[in-house]
Amino acid sequence: MLSFLNELKAPITNGLLLGGLYGIIGIGLSMIFGIVRMVNLAHGDLVILASYLSLVTMTFFPISPLLTLIVVIPVMALIGFIVQYCLLNRVLGKGMNPPLLVAFGLSIILQNLLLLVFTPDARTLMTSISVKTISLGSFLNIPLVYLVDFIVSLITIALLSRFFNRTYMGKAIRAASDDEGAAQLMGINTRTIYSFAMGIATGTAAIAGVLVGMTFTFYPHTGPEYLIIAFGVVIVGGLGSLLGTFLGGLILGLAQILGAHFLGAGFQLLCGYLILLIVLTFKPTGLFAKG
């Protein structure tokens, strides 16, 4: 029994740490759904765009991928603000399909633009962190990059929670999310607020993109893969809930790593989707949905 528990230490730990990365991938998608009531189908491609922006920054400045966040976050936040202000705000309130179509079109444009500029070759944000492990006894070796992903995700969640609860802009975003009409009566320009919210969401996508690039290889067309991961995370955790999204990432990551441990690597994704199907069957709103 003791040997069995020792055997599980590594997959459980790695699953939780991987879940932290999944959580940060899904945060931006969850935020926009909770605030704007819109599913951003270009979210995964924005994550990969951030990975490439980090790669470009590293070619000009020989710095760690984490330090490129100083450049990547503001650039991605500006892109998100412009996309929402100039494109998506124009189709809000016209039904569900127009925003979806605009986001889908943006996804196709980003994929083809990245393919044109960077070619279909595999890329990675190589750093010494990516190949190091931390040994915690004879039964447990933790990939350092997974630990960094988890810590950065926790810090991001904490900062976002503080922002939404303590700042005027955060409270204005929450007000526009809860009741758009009442927020407008109080003098809040909800369309501008939505643009700032998209900027913050793409800022989190920037963080996710850098972490993804440090952890895995990426291609111009891998955005939809991370969109699917983001969908799984927010559905398990609950759309619109920051903490729920993070916990949903932990659950999904744990399910995938344990599935691969017991059933083989080929069953990793299947186990994650089974968890998603079970949640949809018994708790369609998500395990930790607000309200």
pLDDT digits (tens, 9 = 90+) for 149-200: 999 999 999 999 899 888 888 888 888 887 777 777 777 788 899 999 999 9
The pLDDT value given to residue 238: 78
Residue type, 35: I
Residue type, 285: T
What phi and psi, each to the nearest 5 degrees, are found at residue 62?
Answer: -75, 75
Residues of the chain with pLDDT under 50: none
The DSSP call for residue 11 is: H
Burial of 163 (0-12, 13-18, 19+ CB in 10 A): middle
Calculate the alpha carbon distances from 166 to 47, 128, 153 in Å.
27, 37, 20
Question: What would the two tokens of residue 175 be?
Answer: 């007000």
The pLDDT value given to residue 291: 52
This prediction has a pTM of 0.92
Question: What would the two tokens of residue 8 be?
Answer: 């599980």
The pLDDT value given to residue 4: 52
Calculate the alpha carbon distances from 220 to 48, 52, 130, 170 in Å.
7, 9, 21, 33
Contact 10, 233 (CB under 8 A): no
Rounded to 5°, angle at Cα 224 from 252 and 193:
85
Q: For residues 241 and 246, what is the distance between their CA atoms, to the nearest angstrom?
A: 9
Contact 268, 279 (CB under 8 A): no
The pLDDT value given to residue 5: 53
Question: What would the two tokens of residue 166 be?
Answer: 């303590």
Q: What share of the chain is helix, strand, coil (3-state, %, to 5)?
A: 75, 5, 20
Contact 129, 146 (CB under 8 A): no
Q: Where are the domains of the chain?
A: 27-221
Calculate the alpha carbon distances from 277 to 204, 225, 274 in Å.
27, 18, 5
The pLDDT value given to residue 124: 93
Rounded to 5°, angle at Cα 184 from 40 and 94:
40
The pLDDT value given to residue 35: 86
Q: Which residue has the tokens 């983001």?
A: 230
The DSSP call for residue 188 is: -
The pLDDT value given to residue 220: 95
